[in-house]
Structure 1
Amino acid sequence: MSPPTTSRRPELRTAASAEIFARIITHGPISRIEIGRLTGLSPAKVTKTVNPLIRDGFVTVGEHAEHSSPGRPVYPLSVVSRSMLAIGVKVNADEIVAATVSIGNEVIASARRRLKQHDPETVTAAIVHCARQLIEKLGDDAERLVGIGVSVSGDIDSVGGVVRQSPLLGWSRVPLGERVSEQLGLPVLVENDVRALAKSEQWFGLGVEAESFAIVTIGAGIGCGIYVNRDVVTGAHGVVGEIGHLPLASPDAECVCGRRGCVEAVASSSAIRDAVRADHGDPALTLADAVRLAHAGDRSAVTAFDRAGTAIGAALAVTVNLVGPEVVVIAGEGVMEYDLYERRIREEFAAHAFGEAASCRLVVRRHTFIDWACGAAVAAFRDAIRPTPAGAAA
């Protein structure tokens, strides 16, 4: 199978042009006037950017005019949903989850592959296998692929495509992007998984309306993506929002990162399970068993979830005190047991959130691993509509 081309990337020569296209993607159907209002750009600039996008089939003009005010009719602009496609991949310790996603946020197909091991070679092969499955399903539409996004837990160099450190996978300095790109012949963008999820929220979720938000995920790890000043924060060194490694737990608790006292050391799914295992002297006890015991009132299980909730609540308060988001979304596979954390999370948050920061809304939302894969695809789309180097400084 010959690799698909990447000819479907639009020509966007300035940061302003990229912003205009992004507004059409996230807010469409939208008028040129409204784009100008949101971006602060002149009608001439908006028109100059939009016309080639219409010509090349990325944007369509509404057939029916909107007469929202006296004067000339307004024909709203929308992105052509399948004009650009990306494959998003979520890497877990035991599974690869992948999805083909359109620029209109439509999941076209998905694929999964279990992992018996999670060494770099096995994971790379699984990513390539899933991607090839999805590419084959696309047929001729594969020419619309702009790239592949891969989301991984940990410290990620997204520019170089390197997983610098992933305690969940036990990786250090793995050039994952290069390895996958060599086999598939497509651009590959590697991103921190929670940051990718925040990028998806920026484009198609909270970010459409909210001026700022944070998304905190609980489950195998504890992560945080932050959206302020009209963008997802990446940090000077590519590490940001690692609230799972704030030293807010007991110094006796050892984290998978090798440090002590991390939130993740008491609040991750494995930490809760291991605590209940130790108290019951049962190394075969599962997380589902721990949940069942907690619901039944078992003291050690209730204590383990309370300890986790206390650490997470304190971490939420730190996040809100430092960043001041409008809303915090609590997500991840751990929210399935949110009732076991909620009281302690909210108590600890209220105890440590300073002043009006305590009025920040805490919203619980379940995300599937397909949602995580969609976040990786959005990261690839965002990379694909960056300005070309010749106009990047404009």
Structure 2
Amino acid sequence: MFTTVLTEGPVSRVDVARRTGLSSAAVTKAARPFIEAGYLEELAAGGRTAPGAGRPANPLAIRPDREYFVGVKITGDDLIGVVTDLRADVRASAHHALTGHDVEHVVRALADLVGELLTGDLRERAYCLGVAVSGDVDRASGVVRYSPFLGWRDVPLASLLEGATGLTVTLENDVKALAVAEQWFGEGVGVSSFALVTVGTGIGSALVVHGDLVRGAHGVAGEIGHVPVADGGPPCHCGGRGCVEAIASTEAILTRARQVTGEPGLSMADAVTRARGGDEPLREVFAGAGHAIGLGLAALVNLFGPERVVVSGEGVATYDLFEEQIRRTFAVQAFGSAARCGLVIRPLPFEEWARGAAAVAVQSLFVSDTV
């Protein structure tokens, strides 16, 4: 009931009952403790707070400033942090550079960032911290099982951060955290199934089926970045060869661009500029990456059948160099009506990664993990 109001409100009790399958009486009963605790309020028809409670026709709405949530995205170089309200709207943000990857240093730096973000009223009403990190993350235990960019294995990060910050910590894979933000506050609202695919330093994806984020038996469901699409292709850090990520990640594209130009010092910015200017060998490098991404998307849609796919990540900034080949390959490889799946392109400022982590903290407060 609460999540329906959070993601789709203001909404009447009648609509909540229709969308959840609960009776109107059950909705009223379920809403009462949230109203008493200050998380929900009743609105009059004109949007004003109702003078009294217990009016079933009055829409229910979230009180977004009832509680604040901290979200932090850990990258190889930076910590990106935000404070959001209940609707995951950002109220404050900050960046800290990471000067090392040892666990103690990262925990200390992250605790300092949280202290900088939580000042005044924000500190008094913030109890939950969401942390997003790339790699194999076990949300239930709060352990980073493997993070290639940090060089970590089996790090009990959630418990370490709880001790350092005094906040309740929820740890999640960064792409899955973005998917939660889309599910609750973005393209996934009102959609039964969708996929989020990120293009950039890595190629990541997350799946939502019937409203549930799919983790799989081992927590790595949906990793299309490690689907092999080129037999005998370039090696991947995962130990395989020819993975989508080994061909279409930023590093893979730059490595290939330097090979075809014979310029070991070529920067990504220069490669993009020259490709946009008509440099054919470089354009073919990006087209090859687009082909690999298109194959990965087609495999995802053929197996999963989502209503839509959201493509995001820092690599979207150069999407014009990929798009034609992605769509062409996808159209050829997607089976039957799966080709009608909509591709939504969403630019991704780095704060969105941290906002995804905050959305996970919001989710963890009101929904128990079931998948």
TM-score range normalised by the length of the shorter chain:
over 0.9
Amino acid at match of 1:288: A
Q: Which of 260, 268, 272 pairs up with 1:279?
A: 260
Inter-partner Cα distance in structure 1 for 2:77 and 2:27? 46
Equivalent residue, structure 2, for 1:31? 12
Inter-partner Cα distance in structure 2 for 1:328 and 1:386? 24
Q: Which of 47, 64, 68 pairs up with 1:85?
A: 68
TM superposition shift of 1:211:
2.1
TM superposition shift of 1:387:
5.5
How many pairs does the alignment contain? 363
Aligned counterparts, 1:211-360, within 5 A:
211-360=192-341
Inter-partner Cα distance in structure 1 for 2:108 and 2:285? 37
SS in 2 for 1:207: coil
Deviation readout 1:174-225 (Å, 9 max, x if unpaired): 2211221110011111101111111111111122222221111100000111
Amino acid at match of 2:258: R
TM superposition shift of 1:65:
6.3
Deviation readout 1:337-388 (Å, 9 max, x if unpaired): 0010011111110111000001111111101111111111111111111369
TM superposition shift of 1:234:
1.7
Amino acid at match of 1:355: G
TM-score normalized with structure 1 length: 0.88
Equivalent residue, structure 1, for 2:87? 104
- Cα RMSD, aligned residues only: 1.8
TM-score normalized with structure 2 length: 0.93
Task: Tell me which of the two structures has the higher relative contact order, counting C-alpha pairs closer than 8 angstroms and 6 or more residues apart.
Answer: 1
**Contact 1:252 1:261 survives alignment (8 Å):** yes
Q: Which range moves more in the overlay, 287-296 or 32-41?
A: 287-296
The 1:243/1:113 distance shift into structure 2, 3 A limit, reads same
Amino acid at match of 1:273: L
Deviation readout 1:83-142 (Å, 9 max, x if unpaired): 12110111111111110011022211001012233333332222212111111x2x1442
Equivalent residue, structure 1, for 2:365? 384
Amino acid at match of 1:266: I
Inter-partner Cα distance in structure 1 for 2:245 and 2:323? 17
**Contact 1:164 1:173 survives alignment (8 Å):** yes
Equivalent residue, structure 1, for 2:32? 51
Inter-partner Cα distance in structure 2 for 1:122 and 1:102? 28
Gaps of 5+ in 2: 48-54
**Contact 1:164 1:174 survives alignment (8 Å):** yes
Gaps of 5+ in 1: 1-19, 67-71
Equivalent residue, structure 2, for 1:5? none
SS in 1 for 2:306: coil
The 1:118/1:35 distance shift into structure 2, 3 A limit, reads same
Inter-partner Cα distance in structure 1 for 2:278 and 2:136? 38
TM superposition shift of 1:244:
0.4
SS in 2 for 1:283: coil
Aligned counterparts, 1:109-258, within 5 A:
109-135=92-118, 137=119, 139-258=120-239
SS in 2 for 1:309: helix
Deviation readout 1:278-314 (Å, 9 max, x if unpaired): 3333333221121112112223322221111011000
TM superposition shift of 1:159:
0.9
SS in 2 for 1:252: coil
Deviation readout 1:53-74 (Å, 9 max, x if unpaired): 11111111103369xxxxx872
Inter-partner Cα distance in structure 2 for 1:311 and 1:253? 12
**Contact 2:43 2:58 survives alignment (8 Å):** yes
SS in 2 for 1:118: coil
Inter-partner Cα distance in structure 2 for 1:284 and 1:125? 35
Inter-partner Cα distance in structure 2 for 1:305 and 1:219? 13
SS in 2 for 1:206: coil
SS in 2 for 1:103: coil
The 1:265/1:73 distance shift into structure 2, 3 A limit, reads closer
Matched, 1:370 2:351: yes
TM superposition shift of 1:169:
2.4
**Contact 2:302 2:335 survives alignment (8 Å):** yes
Deviation readout 1:127-165 (Å, 9 max, x if unpaired): 212111111x2x144232131111111111011111111
Q: Which of 53, 56, 59 pairs up with 1:76?
A: 59
TM superposition shift of 1:250:
4.5
